[in-house]
Each structure stands twice: as structure tokens, then as C-alpha cells.
Amino acid sequence: MSAVVVNEFGGPERVESAELPVPRPAAGQVLIRVRAAGLNPVDGAVRAGVFGGAGQRLGLGWDVAGEIAEVGADVTGWSRGDRVVGLHYGPVKPLGTHAEYAVLDASAVAAAPATVDAVAAAALPLGGLTAARAVDQLGLAPGATLLVTGAAGVVGGLAVQLAARAGLVVTALAGAEDEELVRSLGAAAFVPRGAAPAGPVDGVLDAAVLGEPALGFVRDGGVYVGLRPGAAPAAERGIRVEEQEVAADGRHLARLVALVDEGALTLRVADAFPLADAQKAHALLATPGTRGRIILTA
């Protein structure tokens, strides 16, 4: 089978296509025939060597949408041919989801949305779980005010939608050109990049990883949730500062799938490329202003 891998760290030119054996699922796992897989910023970071792993072949890809091709021992509830989405967690791994086949823990997958195709569905797992877990981690009650930085990005945009649905009053911070977009996702107010909200907010979900400047927008005793482990600012003024680390969770993913099928969660795709054009996809990933998830198809 074809798979996208990195053997040396660097830019998009380091992305390679390799012919590898089709993996087999162990107990508690499923083999998925990949139809589409999201290309995330974390894949660019793996390619660049941010997470280490020098001297070994690294597979790329966390998101997947496809059909179950084989189930391992002790797996119940899934059968060959079931359409699924899933999250293959982990930056340093020999094979990711950017391949014709991928093995995931059965607990990491959910039935695929019925209302969108595999390309759109592949934009859900990592971004959706990150945003949903961050909104939950804020712990804000309906009516509370929330600022989402990077609100036009994939995770930020999903966070705007989920927070608004939870009854929070969302202010979106993004580029001036994205005001219409973020308002369409449910933002009640808009702040252009480089500006500050009209007043302190109860919480900040820092999808843009602004750090201390974003913390400064939070009222005394409020809450800040960052999305890059190790990058959160030091707590001050009684603000609760936390970081979100995504996890593979099929049950939580199933709830997000239900929101997609209800029309309550919009998935955005910037472009799709076949596996053979993975270098082009990585070049687009590095292009500022790309809106929506980039997808690889197999």
C-alpha cells in the first residue's frame, strides 16, 4: 500500500511516498481502508522535527475517514464495511492515517456522519475533539462571555460553533477579512487581529496561541485555556490557566458526528489532494490565510 512518510526532517520537500505492507489489527483494534485523512499543523511540526524521532521513518496523519476492512480480536460493535471516522493520536509513529490503510484502537473511532462525504468527515476528528474538550474545560455557564482567538481557523471556528451552542456569548478574534465568516459560525461580536475586546471577558480559548496578550483580556478570577501544551502563560489575578491536550475518544467523537448530522456543526475543507500530491498539500499547509482543513484522499 502507499503511505506518506518522513525519513528526514525539513520542509514539504521531505515528504515521501513509500510502499509498505498493509498493517494488521491487534486485539482491540480495527483496520480502516482510508478514503480521506486530514492534514493538520501537527503533521507539519512532525515533518519539521519538532517532536523528535530522528533516524526512523515517521508516518503522518491523525484524522481518518473510511471503512472498516478488518476487526481485531475482542472488538465488538464494528463490522467490515462500516463507515467510520477516527483519531490516530501520536506524533511519533511508524504509520499514520496518510496511507491507504490505517490501524486504530476501536475505542478511537465513531460511525461516520451520514450527511457529508468522507472528505468533509475527515476534517472533524482532531479539530472537533480539540475544540470540544477545550470548551468543556473552560467550565463556563450559559451567558458567560468567551473570547476565541484564531476564530477563523479550523479549531477556532469549531470552538466558536460549540461555545455558541452551549449558550456562551462569543467574541471572535480573527483577521479583518474573516468577520463575516466568524459571525456566520455564531460569534456575537468581532475583534480584528491586533485589537482588544471592549472589556474583560469571563474566559479565553486561545486557539491562536497568543499567550500573555490573550490572558490580559480575561477578567480577574476568569479562565484561560490554551491549545499548545507547554505554551500557556503563568497564572495571575486569580485566573485559572489550563492547557488542552487532545485524546482519542470515540464516544465523544460520536457526539460531534451527531451535531454534524443535525446541521449544528459546519466542517470546512480548504482543498483536497491525492496521496501522491502530499508535498503540494504540505506546501499549502504552510501558506498563510488558508481557511479550512486540507485533506488527502486515498
91 plus 12 within the same structural domain: yes
Looking up residue 34, the CATH number of its domain turns out to be 3.90.180.10
Tens-place pLDDT, residues 209-237:
999 999 999 999 999 999 988 889 999 99
Give a yes or no: residue 262 inside a domain: no
Residue at a domain's end among 243, 258, 280: 243
89 plus 6 within the same structural domain: yes
Residue at a domain's end among 204, 227, 243: 243
- The count of structural domains within the chain is 2
C-alpha cell at 244: 488542552
Is 288's pLDDT higher than 90? no
Give a yes or no: residue 248 inside a domain: no
Cβ contacts of 151 within 8 Å, gap of 6 or more: 157, 159, 160, 172, 173, 174, 178, 182, 185, 187, 207
Please compute the mean of the pLDDT values over residues 148-171 and round it to a whole number: 98
Which of 230, 212, 229, 235 is closest to 149 using CA atoms?
212
120 plus 166 within the same structural domain: no
148 plus 232 within the same structural domain: yes
Give a yes or no: residue 249 inside a domain: no
Query: What HEC string does the chain produce?
Result: CEEEEECCCCCHHHEEEEECCCCCCCCCEEEEEEEEEEECHHHHHHHHCCCCCCCCCEECCCEEEEEEEEECCCCCCCCCCCEEEEECCCCCCCCCCCECEEEEEHHHEEECCCCCCHHHHCCCHHHHHHHHHHHHHHCCCCCCEEEEECCCCHHHHHHHHHHHHCCCEEEEEECHHHHHHHHHCCCCEEEECCCCCCCCEEEEEECCCCCHHHHCCEEEEEEEEECCCCCCCCCCCCCEEEECCCCCCHHHHHHHHHHHHHCCCCCCEEEEEEHHHHHHHHHHHCCCCCCCEEEEEC
Q: Which pLDDT band, with edges at 50, 70 and 90, does 88 fall under? A: very high
Looking up residue 238, the CATH number of its domain turns out to be 3.40.50.720
| C-alpha 187, offset from chain centre | 20
Tens-place pLDDT, residues 99-141:
999 999 999 999 999 999 999 999 999 999 999 999 999 999 9
Give a yes or no: residue 252 inside a domain: no
Please compute the mean of the pLDDT values over residues 37-47 and round it to a whole number: 97
- Residue 229: per-residue pLDDT: 86
Is 84's pLDDT higher than 90? yes
42 plus 116 within the same structural domain: yes
Please compute the mean of the pLDDT values over residues 269-293 and round it to a whole number: 95
108 plus 11 within the same structural domain: yes
- Residue 207: per-residue pLDDT: 97
Give a yes or no: residue 25 inside a domain: yes
40 plus 100 within the same structural domain: yes
Its domain, for residue 131, covers 127-243
Give a yes or no: residue 259 inside a domain: no
19 plus 119 within the same structural domain: yes
Give a yes or no: residue 257 inside a domain: no
Give a yes or no: residue 219 inside a domain: yes
111 plus 32 within the same structural domain: yes
Provide the percentage of residues in the chain whose pLDDT is more than 90.
97
Is 160's pLDDT higher than 90? yes
120 plus 49 within the same structural domain: yes
116 plus 132 within the same structural domain: no
20 plus 95 within the same structural domain: yes
Estimate the crossing angle of helix 41-48 against helix 278-285, to 10 degrees.
100
Q: Which pLDDT band, with edges at 50, 70 and 90, does 177 fall under? A: very high
Q: Which pLDDT band, with edges at 50, 70 and 90, does 180 fall under? A: very high
Is 289's pLDDT higher than 90? no
- CA–CA separation, 138 and 24 (whole Å): 39
